[in-house]
């Protein structure tokens, strides 16, 4: 199964594709959509749509995952990110992809184990989990790969109530550190 993760933004939108095969996660591709500051917001949204559409048509993912909006102090920034999220979700719908959304805290907790993890910690764990030695990427790209991994973990998590550590170990044997 191929999963695309998107970290939306109106200056940079990161995307990352991983393949989930049983208990193995492999990075397929990652990239950054750089949006010219001289462009108007509608022009930037068109670029996001066109680039994500191109990537989806080329790699043909099975699932789409995206980070939910983070509401900070700046309402204008939150709204602009909402627009970027909207066109990203529209691309998924137009390509008949099931779309899932995850909060920044949920993504960090699933990948790092700490919902307040720094971007550097997320980058380190993405590099470790996907075995990306000496791979250059921006935080927007590692965040997008984290979104995709979060979704992969969610797909594998046992859905019944009363989850135990045994269930977790069976679902994620690759996440257990052996001494």
Residue among 41, 151, 52 nearest 94 (CA): 52
Q: Which of 51, 63, 140, 143 is catalytic?
A: 140
Is beta strand 99-102 parallel, antiparallel or unpaired with respect to 12-21? Answer: unpaired
* Gap between the Cα atoms of 10 and 66, Å rounded: 15
Q: Which of 7, 51, 141, 143 is catalytic?
A: 7
Helix, coil or strand: residue 35: coil
7 annotated active-site:
yes
46 annotated active-site:
no
Q: Which of 63, 67, 141, 143 is catalytic?
A: 67
Q: Is 61 exposed, middle or buried (0-12, 13-18, 19+ CB in 10 A)?
A: buried
Residues known to be catalytic: 7, 67, 140
């Amino acid at each position: 199964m191929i999963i695309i993760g998107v970290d939306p933004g109106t200056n940079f939108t990161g995307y990352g594709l991983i393949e989930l095969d049983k208990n193995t996660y492999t990075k397929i591709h990652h990239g950054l959509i750089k949006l010219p500051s001289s462009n108007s917001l509608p022009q930037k949204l068109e670029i996001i749509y066109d680039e994500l559409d191109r990537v989806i048509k080329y790699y043909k993912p099975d699932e789409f995952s995206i980070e939910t909006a983070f509401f900070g102090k700046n309402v204008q920034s939150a709204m602009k990110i909402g627009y970027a999220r909207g066109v990203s979700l529209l691309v998924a719908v137009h390509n008949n992809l099931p779309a899932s959304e995850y909060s920044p805290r949920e993504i960090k907790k699933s990948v790092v184990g700490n919902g307040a993890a720094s971007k550097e910690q997320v980058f380190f764990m993405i590099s470790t989990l996907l075995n990306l030695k000496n791979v250059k990427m921006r935080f927007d790209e590692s965040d997008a790969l984290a979104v995709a991994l979060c979704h992969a973990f969610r797909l594998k998590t046992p859905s019944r109530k009363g989850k135990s550590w045994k269930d977790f170990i069976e679902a994620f044997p690759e996440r257990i550190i052996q001494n």
